[in-house]
Amino acid sequence: MDIDANRELITAALTRIPAGDRAALQTVYRLTSAKLFGVALRILGERSDAEDVLQEVYMTVWRKAADFDPSRASPMTWLIAIARNRAIDRLRASRQSRRMEPIEQASEIADVAPGADRMLTSMETHARLHGCLDRLAPHERSALRGAFFDGNTYEDLAARMSVPLGTMKSWIRRAMIKLKACLEQ
Amino acid sequence: MSDTQDHNALPDDELLAAEYALGVLEGTERAAAARLMQRDPRFAAMVAAWDERLTPWTAEIAEVLPPPQVWEAISAALPGESQPQTGLWQSLAFWRGFALASALAAACLAVVIYVGSISGSQPLVATIESGGHRTFVATIDTKRGTVAVVPAAFTADATRVPELWLIPADGKPRPLGLLRADRAVTITLPADLAALAKSSVVLAVSLEPPGGSPTGLPTGPVIGSGKLTSL
């Protein structure tokens, strides 16, 4: 209910932006900026970088809102993808991922207990994704986690997990194939 | 590469889409994938599908309230008409003076004269109060479609922020925006809501988590309300 109401509010505001409706952008910002800032901050680690990226994200939303197709994507997925990509672009420009400490495959820790953001992601889809992630081998899951949350490249991950680059590519690709198959079941 | 042999289950372009969505690419590979997204709708759809698969993972990332200057910078960078926010209208000292003067009528009269002199429009005013305790004064400029909200006697709460709601005849609260305890805030009303702002319609303020109500409806305590009055 909450998720649907928010999805509709965000979608309605997004569809008003291409006409130049500044208040609509403000509504989108008000409803989504805390989540997108959290995402950018998780990847970048520095508040000042995340603030710059957040600004770029909403300027992108302002220019590209017409590209959002509510019949094909959820508004939060669309917005989070923009935020992640902007944050990763900035990370790549600085040539170094923030997190490079070795990944111990035994110590997988979720960053934050889910539940705080009932507005944005349905717990059902989160549980489903988790069910499929749990079916991956631990090293595959660790590698995906490092890429998704830390913005690591193949090379970063190979270094963090002390395996050759080719092995890392193979792990990630195999993991993505398994993940897709599992989610489509 | 020999490591491509046993995962032919994904075609090359879909593999690239997955890698791009996950974020592991860098340099020319990442740039090439970004360009492909721009010119190949089929590839863009594959990336979007992978985004849809992976994004639920971000439920593990806590929300963090960005500082107010981020929105201010965005707002300043937007093209088109910016609301003139100068002079008396935005002066907190000016409005604090009114808040201290308990005679609301005098304040309203001044608003009439002031607003009337600059826009010739018919303003609507609401005193947002609870049990005789006035928290905010809101003035809607119907011509410009803006609402200016001035804190009267409202003390900031470290964990919650005041959010303004418009409650028209259908009784369903519409979020208008976040307010500040320390200064006047001017919010541009979306056209559909501006049309609903009429005499006798209620404005209310609730306390919400940073960033505003997560549900689109008031979730925290309502700390005051008041009917719009035409001046």
Q: How far apart are CA B86 and CA B5, in angstroms?
A: 66
Q: What is the mean pLDDT of residues A145-173?
A: 95
Q: What is the pLDDT of residue A10?
A: 92
From chain B, the residues in CB contact with A129 under 8 A are 53-54, 56-57
Predicted local confidence at residue A28, as pLDDT: 95
Give the mutation candidate from B57, B147, B164, B179 for the A interface (greatest A CB count, under 10 A): B57
Higher pLDDT, B84 or A43: A43
Task: Verify whether the Cβ–Cβ distance B48 to A73 is below 8 Å.
Answer: yes
Comparison of pLDDT for B16 and A119, the residue scoring more:
B16
Q: What is the arithmetic mean of pLDDT over A107-119? A: 47
Mean pLDDT computed over A72-100: 88
Per-residue pLDDT at A130:
92
Question: What pTM was computed for the model?
Answer: 0.62
Helix (H, G, I), strand (E, B) or coil at B152: coil
Domain ranges of chain B: 10-60, 84-230
Q: Residue A100, class by beta-carbon neighbours within 10 Å (0-12 exposed, 13-18 middle, 19+ buried)? A: middle
Query: Number of Cβ pairs closer than 8 Å across A and B?
Result: 211
Residue B116 touches partner A, C-beta closer than 8 Å: no
CB nearest to B3's CB, from A81, A166, A183: A166
Residue among A8, A96, A119, A140 with most chain B CBs within 10 A, to mutate:
A119
User: What are the structural domain ranges in chain A?
Assistant: 2-93, 123-183
Task: Assign B175 to helix, strand or coil.
Answer: strand
**For residue A105, what pLDDT is reported?**
56
User: pLDDT band for position A50 (50/70/90)?
Assistant: very high
Q: Token pair 């420009």 is at which residue?
A: A93
Q: Which residues of B touch A41 (CB under 8 A)?
A: 64
**How confident is residue A97, by pLDDT bands cut at 50, 70 and 90?**
low
Stretches where chain B sits below pLDDT 50 are 1-7, 82-99, 101-106, 108-109, 112-113, 115-120
CATH class as words, domain A2-93: mainly alpha
* A122 contacts B21? CB cut-off 8 A: no
Q: What is the pLDDT of residue B1?
A: 45
SS3 of A96-136: CCCCCCCCCCCCCCCCCCCCCCCCCCCHHHHHHHHHHHHCC
In 3D space, the residue among A56, A66, A54 whose CA is nearest the CA of residue A16 turns out to be: A66
Fold designation for A123-183? Arc Repressor Mutant, subunit A (1.10.10)
Taking CB atoms and an 8 Å limit, are B215 and A6 in contact across chains?
yes
Fold of the domain spanning B84-230: Immunoglobulin-like (2.60.40)
Band (A127; pLDDT cuts 50, 70, 90): confident
Contact across the interface for B23 and A155, Cβ inside 8 Å: no
Question: Residue B121: what pLDDT?
Answer: 58
Residue of B196, B218, B203 whose CA lies nearest to B136: B203
For position A108, what pLDDT does the model report? 52
% of chain A with per-residue pLDDT over 90: 72
Q: Are B155 and B52 in contact (CB under 8 A)?
A: no
Q: Does A137 touch chain B (CB under 8 A)?
A: no
